[in-house]
Amino acid sequence: MRLPPSFTRTFCAVFAALTLLLPLKPAQASEYTDLWVTPFEDAWGVNFVQWGSIIYATFYIYGPDNKPLWYSAVLNRDGLGNFSGTLFLNGGTYFAAPWNPNQITSQVAGTATFAPSQVNDYMGTLTYTVNGVGTIIKSLQRFSDHPAIQLGGTYFGAESGGYSACTNSADNISFVDTFPLTVTQTPTALTLVFEYDGLGTTCTLTGSLVQNGLLYSVPGATYVCTDGLNTTATVYNVKQTAQGIEGQFSAPVPGNCREDTRFSAVRN
């Protein structure tokens, strides 16, 4: 992390001249792989597994006889970030009998759409139409009633970010940094300590931990750096990866700027 040029004075003068030539990269698409449920409606839900712009969804719901019924759907992302596609009703061999491929059935049952929330990555709206039955609309959120995912440890990583909306347009820059990262997690709090290589700066973000499915957030983290920064950040989309950790944070910083940063690190 580096402060805007006008705040750090001569330190960033050369860097600012270079990074003004580099546009801030647009945010990458969100990842919705998780178990999704409707609050206070136990025993049914939807599993999403995402591959790029496609979500494969499996519904475990119940028919008019209140017996389990499974649907699936292949949903494609559109230009607005919503996913829609065909709903299928599938059947196969009784699970306790030898598998018989001749008993596999798959028929078009309707359509389905998942519209992610515009303000976070852990809520959305599921709309599906079953032919001959009707249209069902459900508010979904990621299932979080499971043991905490442990993120604590030491890592090494990099971040890509930028400043925008600055009073001084010369402060609207992008940056890339590398760092050792130390993560401390308790049942109620998360602390991230970034020691930035080459900058001689250490930044600490810490606050109350919120879990939404596979994602963690710290909505009102204190954000303090040894270069004088002291502000409040929103840390979000923090998750465990196969090799380490990744996440994002945003904060108001000096110069009337907004900092938006994405980070990723591998475990030591």
Dump pLDDT digits (tens) for 140-176: 999 988 888 999 999 999 999 999 999 999 999 999 9
- Is the CB of residue 225 less than 8 Å from the CB of residue 203? yes
Token pair for 116: 């992610």
| Contact yes or no for 253/3 (Cβ under 8 A) | yes
Residues of the chain with CATH 2.40.128: 5-26+147-267
Query: Rounded to 5 degrees, what angle do the CA atoms 172, 175, 178 make?
Result: 155
Q: Do 224 and 230 form a contact (C-beta atoms < 8 A)? A: yes
| DSSP letter, residue 24 | P
Classify residue 28 as exposed, middle or buried by CB count within 10 Å of its CB (0-12, 13-18, 19+). Answer: exposed
Distance CA 71, CA 90 (A): 6
* Residue 229: DSSP 8-state: -
Q: What is the CA radius of gyration of the chain?
A: 23
- Residue 79, both tokens: 């230009």
For the structural domain made of 5-26+147-267, what CATH number should be given? Answer: 2.40.128
Query: In tens digits, what is the pLDDT along the chain, a chain of 268 residues?
Result: 556 666 553 233 333 333 333 333 334 458 999 999 999 998 999 999 999 999 999 999 998 899 888 899 999 999 999 999 999 998 899 999 999 999 998 899 999 999 999 999 999 999 999 999 999 999 999 998 888 899 999 999 999 999 999 999 999 999 999 999 999 999 999 999 999 988 899 999 999 999 999 999 999 999 999 999 999 999 999 999 999 999 999 999 999 999 999 999 999 9
Rounded to the nearest 10 degrees, how much is the dihedral formed by the CA atoms of 41, 66, 129, 32? 40
Q: Tokens 């596979």 — which residue?
A: 214
Handedness of CA 157, 227, 251, 26 (dihedral sign): negative
Alpha carbons 152 and 236: distance in angstroms, whole number: 16
Q: Give the position of tokens 């607005």.
A: 80
